Amino acid sequence: MTAFRVAESGRVRHDRPVEFQFDGRSYQGLEGDTLASALLANGVHLLGRSFKYHRPRGILTAGSEEPNALVGTRRGPGRYEPNTRATVQEIWDGLQAESQNRYPKLSFDLGAINDRLYMLFSAGFYYKTFMWPRSFWERVYEPLIRRAAGLGKAPQEPDPDHYAERHLHTDILVVGGGPAGLSAARSAAKSGARVVLVDESAEMGGHLLSEPGLVIDGQPAWDWLAGMLEELRELGVRVMSRTTAIGYYHQNFLALCERLSDHLKEAPADLPRERLWQVRAGQVVLAQGALEKPLVFDGNDRPGVMLAGAAQTYLHRYGVRAGDRHVVATSHDSAWHAAFDLSDAGSRVEAIVDTRANPSDALREAARDRGIRVLSGHTVTGTSGRLRVNAVRVNPVHDGSVGPAETLGCDSLLMSGGWTPSLHLFSHTKGTLRWDDESDAFLPDQQAEACHIAGAGRGLWGVEAVLQDGDLRGAEAAEAAGHKPESGAFQVENDRTGSGETHRELPSDRKPGRARAFVDYQNDVTAKDIRLAVREGMKSIEHVKRYTTNGMATDQGKLSNMNGLMIAADAVGKAPPQVGLTTFRPPYTPTTFGAFAGYHRGDHFEVVRKTPIDSWAEENGAVFEPVSQWRRAWYFPRQGEDMEAAVARECLATRKSLGIFDASTLGKIEIAGPDAVEFMNRMYTNPWTKLAPGRCRYGLLLGEDGFIRDDGVIGRLSDDLFHVTTTTGGAARVLTMMEDYLQTEWPDLNVWLTSTTEQWATIALNGPNARRVLEPFVEGQDLSPEAFVHMSVAECRVAGFPARLFRLSFTGELSFEINVPARYGRALWEKLYEAGQQYDVCPYGTETMHVLRAEKGFIIVGQDTDGTVTPDDAGMSWAVGKKKTDFVGMRSLSRPDLVAPGRKQLVGLLTEDGSVRLDEGAQVVADPNQSVPMAMIGHVSSSYHSATLGRSIALALLKDGRNLKGQEVYVPLPSGLHKARVTDTVFYDPEGERLKV
Amino acid sequence: MTRFSALSLLKNAMTGHKDWEPQWPDSEPKQEYDVVIVGAGGHGLGAAYYLAKEHGITNVAVIDKGWLGGGNTGRNTTIIRSNYLYDESARMYDHALDLWEGLSQELNYNVMFSQRGVMMLAHNVHDVQSFHRHLHSNRLNGVDNQWLTPEEAKAYCPPLNISKSARYPVMGAALQRRAGTARHDAVAWGYARAAAARGVDIVQNCPVTAIRRDSNGAVEGVETARGFIRAKKVAVSAAGHTSVLMDTAGVRLPLESYPLQALVSEPVKPIFPCVVMSNTVHAYVSQSDKGELVVGAGTDQYTSYSQRGGLPHIQHTVAAVCEVFPIFTRMRMLRKWGGIVDVTPDRSPILNKTPVQGLYVNCGWGTGGFKATPGAANVLAWTVARDEPHPINAPFHLDRFRTGRLIDEAAAAAVAH
Ligand SMILES: Cc1cc2nc3c(=O)[nH]c(=O)nc-3n(C[C@H](O)[C@H](O)[C@H](O)COP(=O)(O)OP(=O)(O)OC[C@H]3O[C@@H](n4cnc5c(N)ncnc54)[C@H](O)[C@@H]3O)c2cc1C
C-alpha cells in the first residue's frame, strides 16, 4: 500500500491496483482514484507550474474547479489532451500524464526566473512597456510573451475519437447529485414527472461522498445513498454521472456534456468519447452546491497547500491523507471537521489556526480531545518550502494589529476561507444575484428562467437543511410542471452545521508590497495586483478582471472571483455589491471542441448533396466542384485531358450535335393556390398574368433594395400552379424570402409554397440534335417546333416516367429540360445517353455550362451580379413589367442613385489579343497611365476561352458601360497591361437562329 | 500623466508600485460641455482623444451607461485588416490601419497591435472569383493583399487542413500581411487615458436616456440617469444601442441589432501564428498572446438585445473550426460570450452628420468595427469639430439608404469581419 493510503477507507477498490505514469515515472493507484488522489497517495504534491511566474504548484481542490493541477494526458496516437485537471481525471491502467509549462523539468524550471522578477511583472505591466523600438513588438517581445504564456501544448495530430449528440425533453432537470439534488429528484419523480438528474462526477452523492459519518434516516450516509439511488431508478429517474451541465440558454434549454470513454482503459471502438445533450426542460432545479474559497496570504500557493474540504474528500472518498503533519488555517467551522477526520485517520494535526477570536466551544473541545492545538484570532503570514510546504508562519491579531510570528512545521497546509454558493448556471440565465450580509455571499434573486435553486446554492448549510430544501424545491418544480407533488422529511445525525467569516487578504506584519498572496492561482494574480489595478483607476470589477486577468483562468473565477471582489471592494472603499460581480459564461467547465462539433466532422460536417445522376458522373470520371452544399460534375475529362481541353471538347460537341447536362441542383419551388399568379406578380419583376398555362418565362427576383437576388425559368402548369426554378445556391434563400413575404406581408394571399428541389431530377439536352434524341421517348406531348414552341412546358411522360418537360435554352442551342421524379433520374439519364450515342452525345459539366451561357451573354447571379446590380445594370430592363404597379424592389428602382447616370452596366469585353484570358475579378481602368491608387471603372465578372469562337471572351460590369461600347479599356494585371474592346454581351448567334431548328 | 516606459516600470517596481496614478479619473458630469459623446467604446473614446488633440476641443465628455470599453470594444475578436473591396471602404480601413501602426506610441499605451497577417480561405470557385476581385482592386488601391496556393497557405498556418478530400477543400487564400490583431481593452484604456490627460471627462455608469432638441430642432443636450447635460454638439457612438437612442431625437436609423458570439479555448503554447478566416465554412480563428484560441463567426439569426446568444451557433462555429483545423477537436472551450452588433442594410457603417443640427452618428459597424477604431474615431472627431465630414467618411452618410448609393461589402464578400 502506498504511504498515504488509509486502509479500507474510501470508495476506491483496494483490491484493484492501477498502474499509471506521471512525467515518465510509474505509480500505483486504485480503481476509483483520480489522478490527483492517486498521486497524493504516493506523496506527490508537485503537479504543475503557474502561468506567469512558473511557480511550483500542487493540488488545491478535489473537483472540476482545480486551477493548479493541470496536466497533459495521452492514450496512444492522436489522443493527447492538454490542461486535463488531475482532480477529475479517473485513472486506468496505462494512463500517461505529464506536467506542463516547465522547462527542462517540473522540479527545476528555468521559467521560474519570472518569479524572481515578480515586481516587474505586476498587473498590466505589458501595457506600459515593450513599445520601443516599434518593430520589436512583433519580432521580439510578442514572441517571447507568447512562448512564455499558454499552459499545455495543443494536440498536433488528428483526433481518432468521435463525438455524439442527443436531444432530450424532460419535465424536470436536476443539476447536481448531492443531497439537495437527490432529494429534489426524488420528490419531483414521486409526483409522476419525468426527471433527469445529472452530476459531473463519476458518482452521485456530492458532499455525501466526503462525509460518510453522517447518519440519515437511521442509516449510514453511504447506505442511505445507495438506497436513494435505487429508489430513483425505480421511480424512472434518468441518472447521468460524468455529465456536466455546461450551459443554460433561453427557454430552459440546457446543454450537458457526458464523458463516456476518458475513464476507461479500453474504450469500445464505437463508443463516442463525449456526448453533447441538448435538453429542453419544463423546470430546472439547480443544486450545484457551494465552492470553498482559499484564504489569501503570502505563500498560499505552495504545493501541499490545499483546501480543507478537498483534503476531507481525499480522505473519505479516496482513502488518502493529504500529508502526515497538517496545519489547518481557516475562517470557517468546516475546516475543523477536516482536521478532526484526518486526526482520527492517523494524521498529525499540528494546529488549527482560526482567524476568528472565538470559535465555538464545541469545536475547541473536540480539538482538545484529539490533542490538537488551537490558535484562534490568528492570521497566516507566510509559508516556506521550495517544492512542498514545510512550515507556516502564523501571528496573533489583536484589535487589528498583528503580533509576533510563530513558525509551525508541517507537510500539509489545509485552508478554508468559507464557501461560495455555486450559481454559475443561474447567472448564464441572466438571473440576478443579491448580496446577503449574513452569509457574506451573493444569493439568487430575480430569475429569468423557470428554475429553482436548492441547497447550498441558496446559502444553506448542514445536510439536513439541504435535504429538506431539495425535497421542497423538487416538489415546487413538479408542481410548476403540472404535477401533484408530495414531500418527505429527513433526519440527519452527526450533521456538521457551521458558519464562518469572510476575508480579503489576511492581515500581515510584513510589507504588503512583497506579499505573494494569490487570488487567481493559475493566472498568478495576487492581492496586490488587484489593489494596483484599483489604484490605476480600474474601479469596476470588470476592469479589475481584465487588467489583472483575475477570474479569467480555466476555472473561470470559481476560486478567485469572491476573494478578488472582497479585495477590490476594500480598495475602492465600497461595499462588495456596489463593485459588482463579473458575469459567468458558458461553459460551466471547459468543454471539448469535439463535443460541440458532434457528428459534424469530416464528410458529415455538412451533408454533401448529390443528385440522382451523381453516381453516373462519378463512374464516368467526372471532376466535381463544390457549389453551396452540392457537389456538381465540373467537367468530364477523357484520358490525358486537362480542364481546358475537356471543356473545349464539351463545348464544341454540344454546339455541333448534342450535350447532356445534369441540372438537378437547380432550386425548384412549387407555387400553388388560387392566388398563385398574384403572388408571382408581387415577387418577380416580370408580369405573369398573361402567361398561359403550358408556357414558361425567365423570371427575375429582386431584393427590397432593387438589386438582383435570383433568377430562373418559371413554368405555368395551370392557372393556379407555377413551377419555379432558382439558382443552385439561392434555393433556400429564395424560399425563405418568399415565405417571409407570404407570412408577414401578404397573409391575405391563398398560396402554398413547397420546395421540390430534391423531388425532381433535371436533365438538360442541348444541341441541334436534342429533339431527335428526345422525341421517341416522349408520350403525351407533340415535340414539333410548332406544337412545342421555345419557352414551353408540358406535363407528359418521358421514357415511361412522369415528367415535366421544358423547352428553354441556357446555351443558345435547341434545348429541353426534363424533370422526372428523382428516383427515375439516373434511369432516364442512361436511356438518353444511350440513345444519344448515334449523335455523339457529350456529357458536360458546370464549366462548359458556364462557357456556353457566357457566349450567349446570359448572366449567372452571384457571378455577374454581386448584390449591387439592378435589372437595367444587367441589361435586363425587358424583364421588368412596365405596367406592373408593384413587385418586391420596385420602389427602390426609382431611387435617385439607381437611375443616375454612370452606373456600372454589364457589357462584353474582347481582349485585343484573343489568346489572353482575363482573370475573373480583374479590375478595369480607362486610363492605364495613372499611379496607384487608380480610378477603376469596373471589373471582369466572367471570362473564358471560347472554343466555339476560337478566342477569349469576357463579361464585365463597367461604369456607364453601354456607352463605352466600341471603345478601348485597360486591364492592368501583375502579368502586364491588357487592352480590351467593350462589346455587346452576346458573342454568339445574336439573332437566336440556332433556337429555330 | 506619468509616461509609461520600461524605465518608469522599473522605478515603480522598486517602490512597490505605490505611485502609479489612476489612468483616468472617474468624472462626475458637469452641467455643460462643448461636445458630448455617447458611448465609451473605442470609437467614442478615440473621437474624444482626436477632438482634443487635433482640433483643440477639450471641453468634452464621453458618457457610458456602464464601464468604459464594456461594449463590443471589450468583446470582439480583434481582427484588423483593410483589404476591403470598394474604394470607400478601402480608404476608411486603410486610414485606420495606418493609425494602428503607430497607435501604441501615439497613446503611450501598448495596444499590442500585432501584424501577424490575416488569411482568408477560398473553398469554392465562387470564393476564388470573389477573392481575386478583392486582390485586383486592393492592388490598384495600394492595399496589400496576396494570393496563396493551398500549400503556401499551409506553410503560413501549419494547422490548416488542405486535404483535397476535405468537405470544403481549400482552393487558395488571400493574405493581407499588414493585417492582424490588437488587445481590445488596451485600445479603450489607452484612448481613455490619453483623452483624460487632455482634459476630457469620462463619465461611467451614466445611461443616456434621450437626446433633447431645442425649439429650432437643433441639439440641446442629453438626458441622463444623472440629469440633463447641455451640449450643442452630441455624437452618438453606441453600437448596438444606437438606433434606440437616435429614435429619441426623431432620427430613425436603418439598423438591426443582433447578438454576435465569440469564444476562447483554454490557453496553449503557440500553435497558431496568424488569423485565418473562412466565410464558406464559417469561422475565424487566431491565438491570443495568452495562448487562447480566439474563435468567432457570424451573427445569430434573430435580432435581440440579449447578450446571451444561443447554442446552435456555437456548435456550428466550433464544428467549422474543427473542419478547417482537425487537430483542435481535443481542445476545450473555456468561455463564450456575446455582444450586440448594429447592422445596416449594406453592412457598411453610418458615420456622418444627421438631419438634426449638432447631432452626429457613428454606427452600423456591425461585426467588423474594431479594426476601424482609430480611423473612425479620427474622422468622427473631424466631422464633429468642423460640422462637415472628412473626405474619407463623406460616402458613409445616412442618405445613401434613401438614394441607393450603397457600399455593399457584404454582398460582394458574404461576410465582413
Ligand atoms: C463577438 C464579437 C466579435 C467581433 N469581432 C470583430 C473583429 O474581429 N474585428 C472587428 O473589426 N470587429 C469585430 N467586432 C465588432 C466590433 O467589436 C465593433 O464594431 C466595435 O468595437 C464597435 O466599437 P464602438 O466603440 O462603436 O462600440 P462599443 O464598444 O460597443 O461602445 C458603445 C458603447 O456605448 C454604450 N452605450 C450604449 N447605449 C448607451 C446609452 N444609452 N447611454 C450611454 N452609453 C451607452 C455602451 O455601453 C458601449 O460601451 C466584433 C463584435 C463582437 C460582438
Ligand 1: distance of its center to the CA of B240 in Å? 7
Q: How far is B166 from chain A (nearest CA, A)?
A: 7
Q: Which atom of ligand 1 is nearest to the CA of B46?
A: 25
Query: Half-sphere exposure of B225 toward its Cβ, with a 13 Å CA cutoff?
Result: 11
Position B414 pLDDT exceeds 80: no
How far apart, in Å, are the Cα atoms of B288 and each of A147, A529, B47, B263? 11, 22, 27, 12
Tell me which residue has its CA closest to atom 4 in ligand 1.
B76
Q: How many other β-carbons are positioned within 10 Å of the β-carbon of residue A338?
A: 29
Out of B190, B291, B315, closest to residue A151 by CB: B291
**Pick from A189, A179, A197, A186: which is nearest to A245 by CA?**
A197
Q: Which atom of ligand 1 is nearest to the CA of B262?
A: 1
pLDDT digits (tens, 9 = 90+) for B245-257: 999 999 999 999 9
Sheet holding A215-216, edge to edge: A219-220, A215-216, A492-493
Ligand 1: distance of its center to the CA of B39 in Å? 9
pLDDT digits (tens, 9 = 90+) for A426-470: 999 999 999 998 888 999 999 999 999 999 999 999 999 999 999
Torsion A378-A379-A380-A381 (CA) sign: negative
The band of B412, judged by pLDDT with boundaries at 50, 70 and 90, is low
Position A150 pLDDT exceeds 90: no
The band of A94, judged by pLDDT with boundaries at 50, 70 and 90, is very high
Tell me which residue has its CA closest to atom 37 in ligand 1.
B238
Q: What percentage of chain A carries pLDDT values higher than 70?
A: 100
Ligand 1: distance of its center to the CA of A919 in Å? 38
Instruction: Please report residues of A whose CB lies closer than 8 A to that of B404.
Output: 705-706, 892, 895-898
Residue to substitute from A605, A625, A937, interface B, most B β-carbons within 10 A? A605
Counted residue by residue, chain A has a size of: 997
Instruction: Please report residues of A whose CB lies closer than 8 A to that of B306.
Output: 250, 430
How far apart, in Å, are the Cα atoms of A396 and each of A224, A352, A511? 43, 13, 17
Q: Is the CB of B381 under 6 A from ligand 1?
A: no
Round to whole Å and give the CA distance between A907 and A927: 18
Average pLDDT, integer, range A150-154 = 92
Out of A125, A128, A554, closest to residue B266 by CB: A554
With the most atoms of ligand 1 within 8 angstroms of its CB, the residue from B76, B246, B365 to mutate is B76
Ligand 1: distance of its center to the CA of B389 in Å? 22
Q: Which backbone phi and psi does A381 adopt, to 5 degrees? A: -120, 5
What pLDDT is attached to residue B413?
A: 52
Round to whole Å and give the CA distance between A610 and A607: 9
Q: Which backbone phi and psi does A33 adopt, to 5 degrees? A: -75, 155
pTM for this entry: 0.96
What pLDDT is attached to residue A2?
A: 81
Q: Is the peptide bond before A179 cis (omega within 30 degrees of 0)?
A: no
Q: Which backbone phi and psi does A208 adopt, to 5 degrees? A: -60, -30
Q: Is the CB of B313 under 6 A from ligand 1?
A: no
SS3 A850: helix
What pLDDT is attached to residue B415?
A: 38
Out of B135, B168, B318, closest to residue A597 by CB: B318
Copy the grid coordinates of residue A209. 461522498
Q: Is the CB of B41 under 6 A from ligand 1?
A: yes
pLDDT digits (tens, 9 = 90+) for A367-417: 999 999 999 999 999 999 999 999 999 999 999 899 999 999 999 999 999
pLDDT digits (tens, 9 = 90+) for A277-336: 999 999 999 999 999 999 999 999 999 999 999 999 999 999 999 999 999 999 999 999
Closest residue in chain B to residue A79, using alpha carbons only? B330
Cα of first residue to Cα of last residue in chain B, in angstroms, is: 35
Stretch (H or E) spanning A905: strand A904-911
**Rounded to an integer, what is the distance from CA A264 to the centroid of its chain?**
26
Which amino acid, residue A599?
Y
Out of A128, A249, A933, closest to residue B311 by CB: A249
User: Which residues on neighbouring strands pair with residue A415, listed in sequence order?
Assistant: A307, A329
Which residue spans within A690-782 are E strands per DSSP?
Answer: 696-702, 708-718, 721-726, 752-755, 760-766, 778-779
Taken in order of first residue, the domains within chain B and their CATH numbers are: 6-77+185-254+345-412 (3.50.50.60), 118-177+257-343 (3.30.9.10)
Q: Which atom of ligand 1 is nearest to the CA of B69?
A: 49
Q: Is the CB of B400 under 6 A from ligand 1?
A: no
At how many degrees (to 10) do helices A541-548 and A561-572 cross? Answer: 120
Round to whole Å and give the CA distance between A198 and A204: 8
Out of A129, A706, A974, closest to residue B4 by CB: A129
Question: Are the C-beta atoms of residues A824 and A800 closer than 8 Å to each other?
Answer: no
Which amino acid, residue A584?
F
A892/B404 CB distance under 8 A: yes
Q: Which backbone phi and psi does A147 adopt, to 5 degrees? A: -70, -35
Q: Is the CB of B73 under 6 A from ligand 1?
A: yes
Copy the grid coordinates of residue B296. 468567432
Taken in order of first residue, the domains within chain A and their CATH numbers are: 1-158 (3.10.20.440), 165-290+421-485 (3.50.50.60), 294-417+499-512 (3.50.50.60), 517-589 (1.10.10.1100), 893-996 (2.40.30.110)
Round to whole Å and give the CA distance between A980 and A907: 12
Ligand 1: distance of its center to the CA of B73 in Å? 5
The radius of gyration of chain B from alpha carbons, rounded to an integer in Å, stands at: 21
**Rounded to an integer, what is the distance from CA A369 to the centroid of its chain?**
55
How far apart, in Å, are the Cα atoms of A404 and each of A297, A394, A396, A509? 16, 8, 7, 8
Torsion A680-A685-A691-A694 (CA) sign: negative
B331/A528 CB distance under 8 A: no
Round to whole Å and give the CA distance between B214 and A221: 74
Instruction: Please report residues of A whose CB lies closer than 8 A to that of B21.
Output: 536-537
**Pick from B97, B153, B96: which is nearest to B120 by CA?**
B153
A129/B326 CB distance under 8 A: no
Residue whose C-alpha cell is 510578442:
A142
Q: How many other β-carbons are positioned within 10 Å of the β-carbon of residue A90?
A: 21
Round to whole Å and give the CA distance between B319 and A163: 11
Q: How far is A769 from chain B (nearest CA, A)?
A: 31
Question: Are the C-beta atoms of residues B357 and B233 closer than 8 Å to each other?
Answer: no
| DSSP state, residue A34 | B
- The mean predicted confidence, pLDDT, of chain A is 96
Which residue spans within A387-499 are E strands per DSSP?
Answer: 391-398, 401-402, 406-409, 412-416, 419-421, 433-436, 441-444, 451-453, 492-493
The band of A911, judged by pLDDT with boundaries at 50, 70 and 90, is very high
Q: How far is A626 from chain B (nearest CA, A)?
A: 6
